[in-house]
Structure 1
Amino acid sequence: MSFSTTYTLDKPYFYECFDESLPYSKRAQPKYFLLVLLVSLGLFSIYGLADHYLGTFLIMVAVLECVAFYYRRPWWVTRQMFSRASGSEVTLTFDDEGIKSVNHYKSYQLAWQDITDVIETPQGLLIKNKNNMQYISKQILTDEMLDFINKKATQ
């Protein structure tokens, strides 16, 4: 049995992908330890070592880390939009071997035995393997495809 579907890598898809994947990623929380360390070292440099330049630099790095965390969503989507695959059409194929994704610039295959978990989100599926996660929107999947993926992933 084999199923196939296509979708376009566009800005709304990238936003959906980021929003649905974020709660399950390691970047969902700020790096509190790093922030406390940088601010502490900055204050120590200013008051303990009387080196205002080093202290100010370390505190500004902490502020930059906060800004990077706050703007991580638009930054990630912008990076994806600048990739050469942006705007291209992707063909997804689900068969007894696994999941195949092909577009003009890149292709990958994920075997069913390599999948460690399938997480259903409100708008799609997160396919986890030992190295990373792949997101598939429910907008491009039929009920038959969803049943097939869940059945194959749990075997």
Structure 2
Amino acid sequence: MSLSTSYTLDKAYFYECFDESLPYSKQVNPKYGLLALLICLGLVAFYILQRHYLGTFMFMLALVECIAFYYKRPWWVTRQMLSRAAGSEVTITFDESGIHAQNPYKSYQLTWQDINQVINTPRGFLLSSKKGMQYVSKHVLDDEIITFLNKRATQ
């Protein structure tokens, strides 16, 4: 049995992908350790070493890290929209051996043995493997594919 569907990689899809994947990623919290280190180094450079430029530089790096965390969603979506795959049509096929996705610029295949976990999110499925995570939205899938993936998620 082979089930296929197609969808377009547009801005709405990328926003949904980011929103649904974020709770399962390592970037869900700021890098508190890095921020504390940069601030401490800035204080040491500023007050102990009397290197005001170096201290200011460390404080600015900490500020840039905070800004990067705050704007990570629009930054990630912008990077995806600037890729050549943006706007292309993806055809994804689900069968008993695994998942095969193809667009004009990239093709990948995941076997069910490679997939560690199928996570059912409110708006889609996250497929976790050694290579990373792949997201598939439920609004591009028909009921038969959703049932198939739900069965895989419980195995």
TM-score of the superposition, structure 2-length normalised? 0.97
CA RMSD in angstroms comes to: 1.0
2:50 corresponds to: 50
Structure 2 residue identity aligned to 1:56: T
Please give the alpha-carbon distance, in whole angstroms, between the structure 2 residues aligned to 1:139 and 1:125: 11
Please give the alpha-carbon distance, in whole angstroms, between the structure 2 residues aligned to 1:118 and 1:5: 18
Structure 2 residue identity aligned to 1:20: E
Please give the alpha-carbon distance, in whole angstroms, between the structure 2 residues aligned to 1:130 and 1:153: 17
Give the Å deviation of 1:97. Answer: 1.0
Instruction: Report 1:8-87 matches (<5 A).
Output: 8-87=8-87
What is the total number of aligned residue pairs between the two structures? 155
1:97 corresponds to: 97
Give the Å deviation of 1:90. Answer: 0.2
Q: Which runs of 5+ in 2 are unaligned?
A: none
Please give the alpha-carbon distance, in whole angstroms, between the structure 2 residues aligned to 1:120 and 1:152: 10
2:5 corresponds to: 5
Give the Å deviation of 1:144. Answer: 1.4
1:113 equivalent to 2:99? Answer: no
Give the secondary-structure state (helix, strand or coil) at the position aligned to 1:37: helix
The sequence identity of aligned pairs, in percent, is 66
- The 8 Å contact of residues 115 and 153 in structure 1, kept in 2 or not, is answered as no
Give the secondary-structure state (helix, strand or coil) at the position aligned to 2:118: strand
Give a deviation string over 1:22-47, Cα, whole Å, max 9, x none. Answer: 01000010000000000011011111
Please give the alpha-carbon distance, in whole angstroms, between the structure 2 residues aligned to 1:51 and 1:81: 41
TM-score of the superposition, structure 1-length normalised? 0.97
Instruction: Report 1:131-142 matches (<5 A).
Output: 131-142=131-142
Structure 1 residue identity aligned to 2:20: E
Structure 2 residue identity aligned to 1:42: G
